[in-house]
Structure 1
Amino acid sequence: MRRSQLVRALECVHLALQRLLACIAALVVFYYEMTGSQQTRNLLLGIQTDSSPSNSYSSPQIVPFLVSMLQDPDKINQTLTEMAPPDNSHFVAYLEINSTTSELGLQASACNNPNDADHLYDISFVGSILHYSLAGFSYFEDLSTQWIIVDCAFDGRVSADTSTFKVFLIDHTMTNFTTFFIQTLNIVLPKEHRTTTGGAAIFTTTPLSSMAITDDLSSVVSFHVAKYEAAISITFPYDWAPFVPVQLDSDVPPSGRWQARVLATGESVAFMGTEGIYRKSPDIQANYDNYYWELPHDPIEYAKVIQYVNSHFFKDSWGWFRCLIGMGISFNIGLNTVVSIFVMVNLWRHDSIIWIPDIYPAIQRRATARAILLLFDGLWGSWWYAYESSLNQGNYRTGLVGTLYLEDMTRDDGLMVCLGMTYVCASLTGIRIQLIAVVIAYASSFAYRLDLVERLGLYVEDTHAFLTVDFNENLIPGTGGMDLWTIHENTETNFKLILTECSWLILAVSISLALCLLAASSPLHRRHRIWPTTPSQRVESITLITRRRTMKRRPNHWTLRSTLYNQLSLHDMDFTQFERSVGKIVGEQVGFVAPDEDYIMRGTTRYVSPSGVWLLGFVTVNDEYLVGINQYLFLVVNVLFEKRFFRIHAFRLDRDVASTKKQLLLPHHLTRWTVWNVSLKPLR
Structure 2
Amino acid sequence: MAWREVYVGARRLSCCAAACLLLYIEISGSLATNASLVGVAGDSSVSAVYTSPLIALFLKQPPVQVLPTFAYLNSTDGGRTIRVFEDNCHCDIPSTMYSHAYLTRLLSHLLGEHRSWHAPFDAATTSVVVDCHYDGIRWNDTTALKVYLVDKLSYVVSTIILQTLNVRRSAKHIDTVCGFATIHVGDSYHHLLRLEFPFNVGPFDEVKVNAPALAAWDVTVLRTGEALLAYGTSGVFRETPKTQGNYFYYNWSTPVDGDAFLTYTEYLEVPFSVDCYAWGRCLLGLGVSVLLILHMLVSSVIAFNLYKQDGTLWIPDLYPAIQWRIQLRAVLLLLATVANHGWHVLEYCLKHGNARLRLDDGFVLDAMVRSDGATYLLAIAVGLADLLHLRVGLDVLLSIYMVCLIHREALVHVCAACVSASDAFLSRNYVASIVSEPGAAMSLWTYHANDETPVALLLTELMWFLVALLLVVVYMLCVKAWSTRQRRRVQAEVFADVAPRRRPALKDTSLLRHQSWRQRTLTENFEQSDVQLLSLTYGIIAPFPDDPTHDGFLSPSGVWLLGHLILCDRYLVCVRDYPWLWLNVLCRRNVGRVYCFRIHRNGHTSANLELLPFHAVVARDLVTRLSLRHLH
* TM-score of the pair, normalised by structure 1: 0.84
In the alignment, the residues of structure 1 paired with residue 511 and residue 400 of structure 2 have an alpha-carbon distance, to the nearest angstrom, of: 40
- Aligned-partner SS, 1:326: coil
The corresponding residue for 1:490 is 450
Give 1:499's aligned amino acid.
L
Percent identity between the two aligned chains: 30
> Alpha-carbon deviation of 1:559?
6.6
Contact 2:512 2:520 in 1 (8 A): no
2:196 aligned residue: 235
Paired letter, 2:541: V
C-alpha distance in 1 between matches for 2:478 and 2:508: 25
**Structure 1 residue 142 and structure 2 residue 121: aligned?**
yes
Q: Which residue of 1 aligns with 2:577?
A: 631
Query: Is 390-399 or 582-591 further displaced after alignment?
Result: 582-591
- 1:494 is displaced (CA, Å) by 1.6
Q: Which runs of 5+ in 1 are unaligned?
A: 1-7, 85-90, 207-225, 528-541, 569-576
Task: Select the residue among 131, 136, 148 that pairs with 2:108.
Answer: 131
Matched, 1:187 2:167: yes
Q: 1:301 aligns with which of 251, 260, 263?
A: 260
Specify the SS of the correspondent of 2:539.
coil
Residue equivalent to 1:119: 96
Q: Following superposition of structure 1 onto structure 2, how do residues 150-229 of structure 1 map, counting pairs within 5 Å?
A: 150-206=130-186, 226-229=187-190
- 1:645 deviates by 2.5
Alpha-carbon distance, 1:354 to partner: 0.6
Q: Distance in 1 between matches of 2:89 and 2:182?
A: 24
- Structure-1 separation of matches of 2:393 and 2:261: 58
1:679 maps to: 627
Hey, what's the Cα distance between the residues in 1 that align with 2:376 and 2:524? 38
Deviation (angstroms), 1:446: 1.5
**8 Å CA contact retained: 1:526, 1:545:** no
User: Is contact 2:534–2:548 with CA below 8 Å preserved after alignment?
Assistant: no
2:588 equivalent in structure 1: 642
**Structure 2: which 5+ runs fail to align?**
488-492, 499-506
Say if 1:558 and 1:18 are closer, same or farther in 2 by CA, change over 3 A. Answer: closer
Q: Distance in 1 between matches of 2:497 and 2:419?
A: 44
Q: After TM superposition, give the deviation of residue 266 of structure 1 in Å.
A: 3.3
Q: CA RMSD in A?
A: 2.9
Indicate conservation of the 8 Å contact 2:251/2:269, yes or no.
yes
SS at match of 1:281: coil
Tell me whether 1:93 sits opposite 2:71 in the alignment: yes
Q: How far apart are residue 380 of structure 1 and its match?
A: 0.8
- What is the SS of the residue equivalent to 1:657? coil
Q: What is the deviation of 1:114?
A: 3.2
Q: Distance in 2 between matches of 1:345 and 1:327?
A: 27
* CA separation of 1:60 and 1:297: change in aligned 2, threshold 3 A: same
Task: Output one character per residue of 1:516-574: Cα deviation in whole Å (capped at 9) or x when no partner.
Answer: 111111155779xxxxxxxxxxxxxx879999xxx995569997999999998xxxxxx
Which amino acid in structure 2 is aligned with residue 620 of structure 1? I
Letter in 1 for 2:621: T
What do residues 95-152 of structure 1 show as CA deviations (whole Å, max 9, x unaligned)?
Answer: 112699983211112222232x611110111112222123352524133122111111
- Kindly provide the CA deviation profile for residues 15-48 of structure 1, in whole angstroms up to 9, marking residues without a partner as x: 1111101000000000111111001011111111
Q: Is the 8 A contact 1:339 1:633 kept in 2?
A: no
Deviation at 1:316, TM superposition (A): 0.8
Matched, 1:104 2:104: no
Q: Which residue matches 1:443?
A: 402
Deviation at 1:270, TM superposition (A): 1.4
Question: Aligned ranges for residues 304-323 of structure 1 at < 5 Å?
Answer: 304-323=263-282
Query: Which residue pairs with 1:348 in the alignment?
Result: 307
Q: Distance in 1 between matches of 2:533 and 2:56?
A: 80
C-alpha change, 1:289 and 1:601, in structure 2 (3 Å) is closer
SS at match of 1:626: strand
| Counterpart-to-counterpart distance in 2, 1:545 and 1:491 | 62
Identify the residue that residue 604 of structure 2 maps to in structure 1.
Answer: 657
Q: Are 1:416 and 2:363 matched, yes or no?
A: no
d(CA) in 1 for partners of 2:132 and 2:547? 81
1:493-504 counterparts in 2 under 5 A?
Answer: 493-504=453-464
Q: Distance in 2 between matches of 1:374 and 1:427?
A: 21
Within 1, Cα distance between the matches of 2:102 and 2:516?
A: 82
Offset of residue 680 of structure 1: 0.8
Alignment pair present for 1:481 and 2:441: yes
Hey, what's the Cα distance between the residues in 1 that align with 2:35 and 2:316?
33
SS in 1 for 2:315: coil
Distance 2:528 2:170 in 1: 68
Contact 2:534–2:549, Cα closer than 8 Å, also in 1: no
Which residue number corresponds to residue 504 of structure 2?
A: none
Partner SS, residue 348 of structure 1: helix
- Correspondence for 2:49: 56
Query: 1:588 and 2:536 equivalent?
Result: yes
In 2 relative to 1, CA 557–628 (structure 1 residues): closer, same or farther, beyond 3 Å?
A: same
SS in 2 for 1:173: coil
**Cα 1:419–1:635 shift into 2, 3 Å:** same
> May I ask how many residue pairs the two structures share in their alignment?
612
User: Structure 2 CA distance, aligned partners of 1:54 and 1:26?
Assistant: 38
* Closer, same or farther: CA 353–457 of 1 in aligned 2, 3 Å: farther
Distance 1:352 1:38 in 2: 39
Go from structure 1 to structure 2 and tell me whether the alpha carbon gap of 1:493 and 1:601 turns closer, same or farther (over 3 Å shift).
closer
| Aligned residue type for 1:586 | L
* Deviation readout 1:397-442 (Å, 9 max, x if unpaired): 2212242441122221121122222222222211111111121221
Letter in 1 for 2:555: S
Q: Identify the residue that residue 294 of structure 2 maps to in structure 1.
A: 335
Match of 2:57, as an amino acid? P
CA distance in 2, matches of 1:106, 1:186: 35
Alpha-carbon distance change, 566 to 600 in structure 1, aligned in 2, over 3 angstroms: closer
**TM-score between the two structures when normalised by the length of structure 2:** 0.90
2:465 corresponds to: 505
